[in-house]
Structure 1
Amino acid sequence: MKKYLMGLITMMMAVLVLAGCSSNASSDKKTLNVGILQIVQHGSLDAARDGFKSGLNQEIKSHNKDIKVKYNYMNAQGDQSNLNSMSQQLTQKKNDLLLGIATPAAQALSKKTKDTPILVTAVTDPKAAGLVKSNDKPKTNVSGTRDLGPVTKQVKLLKTLVQSNKPLGILYNSSEENSVLQVKMAKKYAKKNNIKLNVVSVTSTNDVASAVDGMKGKVAGIYLPTDNLMASSMKTIGKKAKEAKLPVVTGSIEMAQDGGTATYGLNYRDLGKQTGKMAYKVLVENKKVEDMPVEKSKTLHLYINKANAKKIGLDPAKIQKP
């Protein structure tokens, strides 16, 4: 009888241990780990990150309330060595999914792993950046959303705001692939429509103020593509442009809010939310990133910085969608 009781007790303990292990395993599966790498801190990219978390959390709240997400966020502050070390850390931590915000961050993550699913946002052209085989069929461990805005319509908008026949100015960072692509598009449109341009490139925030000063008296207005350096320098650009009474059309709404005059473009928070919904499909519905087409922004908006417009002599009510 003793042997029977001891055997029964042993068996019950074993069942409890196994049940505990099973419970822990189930608990582990309810926590998803997402690593986020951002190239630099500014309004557009911060909005994309917030939108991503909002989009993913919203999907989970609607369909799987018992799932929790742990975010591991790192910001390289524009430093390439930081990108390398941070991407290494994020891949070594065995995150369930990685998010690269802006082209350099996405490229850094892609170089470190070909296995962990990677989504990107605020990347102008993932294919041109070497992240996917094609934007329609990635066939790599990378997909996400692209932030290529309606460049030609933005240049057209600037043309309606200028009050002289001087060339339109374009200011951009020539070391950013995304900016180079947009400037090429702007040049092509300008050539086709007989619009004269004064194109200036910089590679450091230290050169932005002098570049804008150098454009005074030479241009009728300034176009800024979605460019991380320009976005980080919007307060400086906005102040200088207002002093010179120059309208500034930007690639994104956040840039216009931070010092531009107007834009017809995308909202980075909305773009981030799109990416967050894609993340839900990967993390919960087990969709394969390699089969998910890169998405464009689903919504475009006319945004007018009314205070800025008034200070340079424009009537905000007369600014129309291009």
Structure 2
Amino acid sequence: MKKRSLAFLVTLAAIACTIMGTTACKKENPSFTIGIFQFTQHESLDAATQGFKDALTDKLGDNVTFDERNANGDRTTCTTVIDEFIYNDVDLILANSTTSLQIATAATSEIPILGTSVTEYRTALQLNDFDGTIGGNISGTSDFVPPAEQAALIQELFPDAKKIGMLCCSSEANSQYQAAALQKELANIGYSCESYLFADSNDLSYAAENAAAECDVIYIPTDNTIASCAGLIANICEAEGLPVITGEESTCRVCGAATLTVDYYDLGYATGEMAARILIDREDISTMPVQYASSFTKKYNAEICKQLGMTIPEDYIPLETE
């Protein structure tokens, strides 16, 4: 009888050790599900998403799963995607673009949200008091390029230009913010500026044609609607022999002469590192300040510059174009 009792106790102890070991293993190697919400298909956004995934995979290996969604520019789809993320109780949401961030923020105050490819968080989220840290369940990275440096690029390439046209979407708050900030800097160095707003891709052609007819140079901020219609702008401006400066390099590959840009893969990677700090190190997202790119690169579209007869300074890097 004693032998049976002893055997039973040994068996119980073995089972307990197994359970405890399994629990400890789970604690040491937790797995996470990340909801990736991208507003539209776009080269820069794609690069940011890839950088984010690579950073988390480098940190977590097989212990991270990505639920990757693209709304293809449709706001109704955006709401559906976020609702599904909330229902599935994902561990963290990557909101890739201003619109993605706005919709995710409106939908949940519980799940951690990291934005990326967002230029100005104060404007995007209508924050009255923003000191660099948003608070709550939101933080992220910004693709903000200082407007003074953008103005300097325009002056360097087009010292004799008089009027600069700003082409931007009226429904993209960050697009309008960039245009307004750059206008102020350009006015300080003697340029006149005018904004040409459009509501969506349907009236972009009209706005672009007016800008091309009235201006010496067109500036395009980081704007998802414009990025998806860059070929249309290229056709209009090429016919007028008008140079375009863009806020990022993927649009510049299609319709721009030059750009001052951040590296979106690196931006996404930095966002992934922030996610790792939240998930693995249990860092409080409410205390994490928004991170900004530390360097910017001057790049140019060699084919378009040749068509325009432009001479490009040596410190500009040629874009790879198809």
TM-score by length of 2: 0.88
Shift of 1:311: 1.6
State the SS of the aligned residue for 1:217.
helix
Distance 2:181 2:19 in 1: 60
Amino acid at match of 1:218: E
CA-based RMSD of the aligned residues comes to 2.6
| Aligned twin of 2:209 | 213
Q: 1:318 to 1:248 in 2, by over 3 A?
A: farther
Q: Deviations over 1:71-123 (max 9, x none)?
A: 01111122221111111111221212111111221122222222221111111
Report the equivalent of 1:72. 67
- Give the Å deviation of 1:165: 4.2
The reply to whether residue 234 of structure 1 matches residue 233 of structure 2 is: no
2: CA distance between counterparts of 1:155 and 1:236?
25
- Are residues 1:113 and 2:108 paired? yes
Distance 1:131 1:117 in 2: 19
* Structure 2 unmatched runs, 5+: 318-322
Runs (5+) with no aligned partner, structure 1: none
Could you tell me which residue of structure 1 aligns to residue 320 of structure 2? none
The aligned amino acid for 2:301 is N
Aligned to 2:38: 38
Shift of 1:316: 3.1
Give the conservation status (yes or no) of the 8 Å contact 1:88–1:112. yes
Candidates 308, 311, 315, aligned match of 1:315:
311
1:303 aligns with 2:299: yes
Cα deviation code 1:12-46 (max 9, x no counterpart):
26743772585277358432211111111111111
| 1:89 paired to 2:88 | no
Contact 1:119 1:144 in 2 (8 A): yes
What's the CA shift for 1:222? 0.7
Q: Where does residue 287 of structure 1 map in the other structure?
A: 283
> Given the alignment, which residue of 147, 165, 176 partners 2:143?
147
1:128 deviates by: 2.7
Cα separation, partners in 2 of 1:187 and 1:316, compared to 1, 3 Å: closer
2:242 matches 1:246: yes
Name the count of aligned residue pairs: 315
- The letter for the 1-side match of 2:110 is D
TM-superposed CA distance for 1:193, in Å, is 2.5
Aligned AA for 2:57?
N
1:106–1:25 distance in 2 versus 1, CA, 3 Å: farther
Q: CA deviation at 1:152?
A: 3.1
Report the AA paired with residue 186 of structure 1.
L
Q: Is the Cα–Cα contact under 8 Å of residues 123 and 177 in structure 2 kept in the other structure?
A: no
1:93 aligned partner, one-letter code: N
* Residue among 250, 254, 257 paired with 2:253: 257
The ranges of structure 1 where at least 4 consecutive aligned residues each deviate by more than 6 angstroms after the TM superposition are none
Q: 2: CA distance between counterparts of 1:143 and 1:131?
A: 14
